[in-house]
Amino acid sequence: MPEIIVKYEDKVIERIVTEKKRISIGRTNDNDIVLENRAVSRKHAMIEFNNNAAVVMDNESLNGVFVNNRKISEEVLRDKDIIAIGKYSLIYHSETSQDHDAGASFDGTMVLTTKRQKKLLENNKVEKEMLAKYGGSLLIGEENVDFSEYRIDRDVTTIGKAKFVHVRARGFLLSGIQAKIVEENGIFTLVNLGKRGKTRVNGEEIDRCILKNGDIITVGKSTFKFVEGAR
Amino acid sequence: MKLALISDIHGNLEALTAVLEDIDKQQVDKIHCLGDVIGYGSEPAACLELVNKTCDIKLMGNHEYVLLGLESPDNYTHVARISAEWTQGRLTDRDFSLITDFEMDRSLDNLYLVHASPFEPERWHYILSPEEAAQAFERLEGWLCFHGHSHIPLIFSEAHDRLPRERVGHSFLPDSENRYLVNIGSVGQPRDNDPRACYVTFDTEGGEVTYHRVEYDIETAQSKMAQAQLPEMLIDRLAVGR
């Protein structure tokens, strides 16, 4: 099956494997691939798949579609072609990469799959404001539309479904305390505790993981970004 | 409805089994566990399994909290730390996972269940003095609070400080005009000079609180602890209930 890896400013934000005959790309939510950026038209482009061939088409967009840096209106895609739309690049693979980590190993960046995660990555402004307000480390999460911040200013921060945890997360299979972040000598370690629900860092399921600035943590259906502050 | 309330089992499978058999005779509708299923005793995993199977509400105790690494055992006594480390090595991922679903507290109409105190439940305050009781009453929403933690069956009423110990011995009918903190005692490590396992039943219609004391095979529990090379002081205290 063909696969498309979506990158935003060199960060892999989405990996799409599709069985569809045709996928739409644009700014509005009704597209198969949503690229949230003003430079992207509402219905910017299409990719059609047919007997192992793929064709990308510009949908009379304002800023155009580029394949390998060449502006096109319609182009047959070859393996590893790079489609540029605004600040996004979409890399076409004619076959799904066997290696499940393909996205991550691509350039050492992360593989994310949902729009929420994408939004968290892009929202640097909110993050800077929060850090300016508070010097320590933070988890920034998204509840509906508003970003919420959780300070990690204790030795152990709990994440889960229970009322008494420090950071509430959603998800049917989640445990009361699904995960904890332990701080020891300035190093933050995320540990999964519940076994029914899952904890992921940058899309990878983990049992224990040392957090780096900018890591995206997913606990059940909730997503957070880890922002390391100066202590 | 008739409820059975158990707490502070502390890995003592002999005591837990005997208490559950006794509860069986009382024809209760539900059993709730107020925490500290593990720690001290030699069979943490088996006790967790049994509590998970038989109890409806399962609350977090400080021993579970430390086991999950949510609190450091630094404030523990030396023997408690040794037993916490020993326990940690005997639990599987599944056991850990069971504990992650324990609740910190629970309100049931006018009842409130918690391991230690309604005042900062996750700080595990003891309620042994009238001052500590006053602090707990300040935060208590509800008529009756059932709790454990100190392993000493004891009732504080808001109007009278501590109730005379002999009234705690068996049955007690709380006054609907007053409020109470009811320590239900310990199943697996009583500390009120009575080595028998302790638990409470509560009749939600009649309002009667009844303490039950159950004899169990203390010697077997002790010899299992000795085999596990747990601290002697923890083994000895079972026989005297202190």
pLDDT digits (tens, 9 = 90+) for B185-237: 999 999 999 999 999 999 999 999 999 999 999 999 999 999 999 999 999 99
Q: What is the model's pLDDT at position A3?
A: 85
Q: What is the model's pLDDT at position A101?
A: 42
Contacting A residues, span 137-156, partner chain B, CB-CB under 8 Å: 155-156
CA distance to partner chain B, nearest, from residue A189 (Å):
12
Average pLDDT (A150-159) is 84
pLDDT digits (tens, 9 = 90+) for A115-124: 666 666 666 6
Contact (CB<8Å) B100/A156: no
Contact (CB<8Å) B100/A177: yes
> Encoding tokens for residue B241?
């209930």
Contact (CB<8Å) B96/A164: no
Contact (CB<8Å) B104/A162: yes
B69 touches chain A (CB under 8 A): yes
pLDDT digits (tens, 9 = 90+) for B182-198: 999 999 999 999 999 99
Across B104-134, b (16+ Cβ under 10 Å) vs e yields: bbbebeebbbbbbbbbebeebbebeeeebbe
pLDDT digits (tens, 9 = 90+) for A44-90: 999 998 877 899 999 988 889 999 989 899 999 999 999 999 888 99
Q: Which of A76, A101, A81 is nearest to A91 (CA)?
A: A81
pLDDT digits (tens, 9 = 90+) for A177-207: 999 999 888 889 999 998 888 899 988 899 9
Closest Cβ opposite residue A156 in set B69, B94, B100? B69
| Chain B interface mutation, best of A152, A159, A195, A198, highest count of B Cβ atoms under 10 Å | A195
A72 touches chain B (CB under 8 A): no
CB burial class (10 A; 0-12, 13-18, 19+) of residue A87?
A: middle
CB burial class (10 A; 0-12, 13-18, 19+) of residue B170?
A: exposed
Q: How confident is the model at residue A131 (pLDDT cuts 50, 70, 90)?
A: low
pTM, full prediction: 0.69
Average pLDDT (B1-22) is 98
Q: Could you give the CA distance from residue B85 to residue B70 in angstroms, rounded to a whole number?
A: 14
Letter for the amino acid at A63? N
Q: What is the model's pLDDT at position A152?
A: 81
pLDDT at A145 over 60: no
> Encoding tokens for residue B192?
């009120």
